């Protein structure tokens, strides 16, 4: 008889603990519990990029059943990618944007020799010799001053063809900082050279290839006199 009571108590205890464990598991599923050492919110970097629903609705292709709709939507999203939300005036904690670097001054002090070294970064895709071949990217002999997307025999992306103008010092300076930002949809999958001095040196070297490059822009201090 004593054994029976003992067994019953043991079974009850076992049953109760199984139930407790089960409830714990179940409530874990129900509520997203924050464990110690974990953040209760997602840090900014983990958030998906902000999507401007208003402009998507506004710009969403109206004739959605037409042929080519898919590529239009994809092109649109590619265009939107990486774009920062429009800043609300006065919201940026009083931080004035840094003045753009004076390209004239940067180029004047830039070292074309150092630029020649930097060009190694481009050589997996570009040839820089006179009459040289197109590779993954077009031949870049004489590119400074050359109309955009104009090198014979190279199949430019439609994004690059739409970029118009010519490769002035200013355009190259902006493009090489972040190709995909300057020309959204470009085939040039190169992240960009962030350092302005590096870019200036590289462009100064590019200007020595061929005779088509316009004269270097004047530093602002001199131009203002
Ligand atoms: C991963 C390959 C790759 C690398 C690396 C690369 N490019 Fe390009 N580049 C391309 C491609 C592809 C195009 C054509 C882009 C298009 O049609 O959208 C291009 C286009 C260009 C153009 C426009 C040329 C024209 O005729 O309009 C310039 C200028 C240029 N690249 C400069 C550079 C420089 C300078 C570097 C090194 C800092 C570099 N690229 C690195 C692939 C590359």
Contact 213, 196 (CB under 8 A): no
Cα angle: 198, vertex 183, 80; to 5 degrees: 120
Which atom in ligand 1 lies closest to the alpha carbon of residue 185? 18
Q: Ligand 1 centroid to 83 CA: how many Å?
A: 21
Count: domains in the chain: 1
pLDDT tens track, the chain, 225 positions: 577 777 787 787 777 877 877 777 776 666 666 666 666 565 555 555 555 666 555 555 554 556 666 677 677 777 777 776 665 555 455 556 667 779 999 999 999 999 999 999 999 999 999 999 999 999 999 999 999 999 999 999 999 999 999 999 999 999 999 999 999 999 999 999 999 999 999 999 999 999 999 999 999 876 555
Choosing from 78, 134, 137, 161 the residue with most ligand 1 atoms within 8 A of its CB, the one to mutate for a pocket test is 137
Q: What pLDDT, on the 0 to 100 scale, is given for residue 15? A: 77
Q: Which atom of ligand 1 sits closest to the CA of residue 121? A: 37
Q: How far apart are CA 29 and CA 89, in angstroms?
A: 43
Q: How many Å lie between the centroid of ligand 1 and the Cα of residue 175?
A: 9
CA angle 5, 6, 9 (to 5 degrees): 85
DSSP per residue, the chain: -HHHHHHHHHHHHHHHHHHHHHHHHHHHHHS-PPPTTS-SS--GGGSPPP--HHHHHHHS-S-TTSTTHHHHHHHHHHHHTTPPPPPPTT-STT-PPPPPP-HHHHHHH--HHHHHHHGGGGTTT---STTPPP-SS---TT-TTPBTT--TT----HHHHTT-SB--HHHHHHHHH-HHHHSTT-S--------HHHHHHHHHHHTTSSS-PPPPPPPHHHHT-
Q: Do residues 130 and 217 touch, judged by C-beta distance below 8 A?
A: no
Say if 1 falls within a structural domain: no
Residue nearest ligand 1's atom 17 by CA: 156
Residue 172 in any domain: the answer is yes
pLDDT at 223: 56
CATH number at residue 131: 1.10.760.10
Residue 151 belongs to domain spanning = 103-223
> How far is the C-alpha of 198 from the C-alpha of 205, rounded, in Å?
11
CA angle (181 as vertex; 177, 184 as ends), nearest 5: 135
The residue assigned the tokens 């005779």 is 211
Residues with CB under 6 A from ligand 1: 121-122, 124-126, 136-138, 140, 143, 148-151, 156-157, 159-160, 167, 172, 176, 186-190, 193, 202
**pLDDT at position 51:** 59
Question: Which one, of 162, 108, 115, lies nearest residue 140 by Cα?
Answer: 115
**126 C-alpha vs ligand 1 centroid, how far in Å?**
7
Confidence (pTM): 0.64
pLDDT value of position 63: 47
The answer to whether position 84 is within a domain reads no
Q: Is 50 part of a structural domain of the chain?
A: no
Nearest CA to 83 out of 46, 57, 56, 61 is that of 56
């Amino acid at each position: 008889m004593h054994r029976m009571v003992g067994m019953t108590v043991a079974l009850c205890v076992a049953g109760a603990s199984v139930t407790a464990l089960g409830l714990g598991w179940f409530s874990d599923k129900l509520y997203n519990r924050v464990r110690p050492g974990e953040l209760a919110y997602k840090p900014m970097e983990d958030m998906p990029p902000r999507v401007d629903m208003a402009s998507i609705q506004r710009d969403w292709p109206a004739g959605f059943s037409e042929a080519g709709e898919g590529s239009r939507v994809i092109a649109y999203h590619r265009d939107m990618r990486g774009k920062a939300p429009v800043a609300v005036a006065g919201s940026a904690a009083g931080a004035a944007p840094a003045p753009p670097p004076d390209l004239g001054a940067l180029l004047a002090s830039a070292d074309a020799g150092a630029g020649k070294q930097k060009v190694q970064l481009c050589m997996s895709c570009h040839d820089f010799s006179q009459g040289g071949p197109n590779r993954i990217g077009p031949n870049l002999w004489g590119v400074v001053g050359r109309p955009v997307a104009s090198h014979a025999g190279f199949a430019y992306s439609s994004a690059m063809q739409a970029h118009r103008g010519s490769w002035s010092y200013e355009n190259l300076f902006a493009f090489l900082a972040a190709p995909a930002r300057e020309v959204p949809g470009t085939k040039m999958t190169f992240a960009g050279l962030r350092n302005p001095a590096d870019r200036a040196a590289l462009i100064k070297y590019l200007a020595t290839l061929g005779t088509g490059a316009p004269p270097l822009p004047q530093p602002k201090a001199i131009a203002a006199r």
